[in-house]
Amino acid sequence: MAPIDLSGYDLAELKGLHFDIEQEIKRRLRDEREQARARIHALAAETGIPLDALVKKALPRYRNPADIGQTWTGRGRQPRWVAEALASGRSLDEFKI
């Protein structure tokens, strides 16, 4: 791909382009995940293997002491309660189940 000359854009236009590009990347990633999920479900159905037998479910490793219904496996994006606790100087070990 040839380089794009962005010198004619002002800062507001560049920020708008940046936002639009980020949104498009998120949309495409979401679409790819959905397509992969659909292929996995179809393959499981074709073979007669229950999807649960193919996917190992992660158990929660951390619990919010302020709301014991809130748990986290330690995988993926941190829940807000974990991020806020860590930002305030607390240790993740404090929340282990």
Q: Report the pLDDT value the prediction gives residue 80, as an integer from 0 to 100.
A: 96
Q: What is the pLDDT of residues 14-49, one digit of tens each?
A: 999 999 999 999 999 999 999 999 999 999 999 999
Mean pLDDT over 65-89 rounds to 95
Quote the pLDDT of residue 57.
81
Give the helix ranges, DSSP H, for 48-92. Answer: 51-54, 80-87
What pTM, to 2 d.p., does this model score? 0.53
pLDDT value for 54: 81
